[in-house]
A and B are shown apart, each in its own frame.
Chain A
Amino acid sequence: MDLTWYLALSAVLFSIGVLGVLLRRNAIIVFLSIELMLNAVNLSLVGFSQGFGDVHGQILVFFVMSVAAAEAAVGLAIVIAMFRNTLTLNIDEINLFRG
């Protein structure tokens, strides 16, 4: 199949992720959208890698997956710590610092 299809799907998924981050207000949904962005890029990397017949793109995909897992662990820990103190996940209500 043509490389263009993979790239188009990847771009569409990435855009959905960006819109999710910008429009949704729940911290966990925002984080999910960020994961969607990372995985959309993975699709691009695999597509390019297949197109070039070169393995480096797929190596980076493995690193991205492990980094995403590490980020998920840290991110959810931060969200839990915040929920214990504020009892909200709405990022509009988190506004102690201003100016």
Chain B
Amino acid sequence: MYDFLLADTARVLPILVVAAVGIAVILLDAFRNDSPSIPWLAGAGLVAAFVLEGFKLYDPQVAFFGQVYSGGAAAFANMVVLLGALGSVVLSVPYLKRIGHNYGEVHALILFATVGMMTLASAGSLITLFVGLETMSVCLYVLTGLVREEKGANESALKYFLLGAFSTGFFLYGIALLYGATGTMLFSEMVEGLAVTERTGIFVGGVALLLIGFLFKVSAVPFHMWTPDVYQGAPTTLTGFMSTASKAAAFAALVVVLARALPVDLVAGEVQITLSVVAAVTMVVGNVIALAQTNVKRMLAYSSIAHAGYILAGLAAGTGEGYGGALFYLLAYTVMNVGAFGVLAALEWDKEQGAIQDIESLAGSGYRQPILGVTMGVFLFALTGFPPLAGFIGKYLVFAAAVDAGLTWLAVVGVLASVVSAYYYLRILVVMWMKPETDAPEAARQPFALATSTTVVLSLCALLLLILGVMPGGVIEAAQSYFDAGAIVAGR
């Protein structure tokens, strides 16, 4: 009678693999804190989970009585998360060595945060959703405050923690109200449950509170105030991790909630209006405030807010194309932002995790470190949305979905906002390649050796962006097949 247990365990195997490797890393760390094998072990675990998820890309299943979705869209989102985590692990090793905080538990915490993100992205019920979200968040609070001797890192961690826990309160209240309105925790039974109890008022209140929690986690305006402060003070490679993988997981979970838990007329009505207004405001505010920033990390933080707006435009469309476009965008965004933060981490000199490092200090760095200069160029052009890079395809998919759903004004706002964004992205490139080296302060001009692993990861990220931009066909088809009308009716 326990046959299902074995079958269901196999379906969530990738999550279990990452968790087991995380525990192994903690144990190894307890005996040999600086063991060079720790990052190798962490990386191997992530690669194994990535391959396992790859096999399930076209095989959507439900496990543990609907509590978890496995395969299909969940596999796609988990692969994005694992890609971000893998890049961050490899980039973190030389970076943490340089700032003198190369602890083994960093990798364990990255792995546990990844477990939380994968659980979040595979959630099939409100309970799984909450547990995944909190596993991820608690690990990220610790990673933010990693450099505990420094005031800036303390401040980031405290702000992230207090505001994150505050938003969790709203998220949880939303879950309680949804449960109270439907009598079930499972996404797939919510619409039926609502029809039985007819507590529509409580249900709408629950959806609103749940959306507040999600919008906070993906840092959409007006819940974005924490983002720049947290990104500025956190260790740079880990900023790359939390700005990409956690966002991918939260967006994937939001897509699942919209597509599978909420009634169609609500998604096409009030939710669409809310999301499209939030998306428009987020794109405009994020890009305009980014123009005024002098700190590069802070600028990229506002840029990540703006990108949350682009992805929300795809979600606001409320169609299979929109959701699929958002998933593709998350993949492209993860690759380009992990890369951009990786370059910044390599160019960091201020011994405060880039908190006081302004854009002028990058002057002439393109000639001193041509690999960093060229890859940064690729990442920044992709972030702006230039063809033939993946960022362009992602933007095209979400805006095309918005136009198809009748939200032409939103697409127009989005395209105009991207034009504005070109100014601050390309300014970084101008400083890197066209300003004389003497503009940078003395400390920034010290020569340093670039770690081989950094070179490899950054080149692979740039290459992947190019490949996804030139031949995105299969990936787009896969992403958009998960949420078309037929697939949703089948409950998958």
The chain A residue sitting closest to B141, CB to CB, is A74
Do A96 and B127 form a contact, CB below 8 Å, given A48-B180, A71-B134, A78-B145? Answer: no
Closest-by-CB residue of A relative to B294 is A99
Q: A54–B355 Cα gap in the complex (Å)? A: 50
Contact with B along A8-48 (1 / 0, CB 8 A): 00100010011001000001001100100110110011011
- How many contacts A-B (CB < 8 Å)? 134
A30/B162 in contact, CB under 8 A = yes
Q: Is A60 in contact with B168, judged by CB distance below 8 angstroms?
A: no
Tell me whether A64 and B172 are in contact (CB under 8 A). yes
Knowing A56-B127, A59-B127, A99-B298, the reply to whether A31 touches B151 (Cβ < 8 A) is: no
Q: How far is the CB of A34 from chain B (nearest CB, A)?
A: 5
Q: In the complex, A59 Cα to B179 Cα: how many Å?
A: 12
How many angstroms from the CA of A73 to the CA of B183 in the assembled complex? 32
A58-B168 Cα distance, complex, nearest whole Å: 18
* Interface assignment of B405: CB less than 8 Å from any CB of chain A: no
Q: Nearest chain B CB to A62's CB is how many angstroms away?
A: 10
Q: How far is the CA of A38 from the CA of B165 in the complex (A)?
A: 9
Contacts A17-B169, A75-B161: A97 and B185 contacting too (C-beta < 8 A)? no
Interface size on A, residues (CB 8 A): 46
CB-defined contacts of B342 to chain A, threshold 8 Å: none
Contact flags A48-76 to B (C-beta < 8 A → 1, else 0): 11011010110110011001001100110
Residues of B at under 8 Å CB distance from A?
126-127, 130-131, 134, 138, 141-142, 145, 148-152, 154-159, 161-162, 165-166, 168-169, 172-173, 175-177, 179-180, 183-185, 228-229, 232-233, 292-293, 295, 298, 355
5 contacts between A and B (CB under 8 A): A31-B162, A34-B166, A56-B185, A60-B179, A75-B161
4 nearest A-B pairs in the assembled complex, by CB-CB distance:
A37-B169, A82-B154, A48-B180, A44-B176
Instruction: List 16 additional contacts besides A79-B158, A99-B292; criterion CB under 8 Å.
Output: A34-B168, A34-B169, A40-B173, A41-B175, A44-B173, A45-B176, A52-B183, A56-B184, A63-B130, A71-B138, A71-B168, A85-B150, A86-B154, A91-B158, A95-B155, A99-B298
Instruction: Please report A residues at the B interface, Cβ cutoff 8 Å.
Output: 7, 10, 14, 17-18, 21, 27, 30-31, 34, 37-38, 40-41, 44-45, 47-49, 51-52, 54, 56-57, 59-60, 63-64, 67, 70-71, 74-75, 77-79, 81-82, 85-86, 91, 94-97, 99
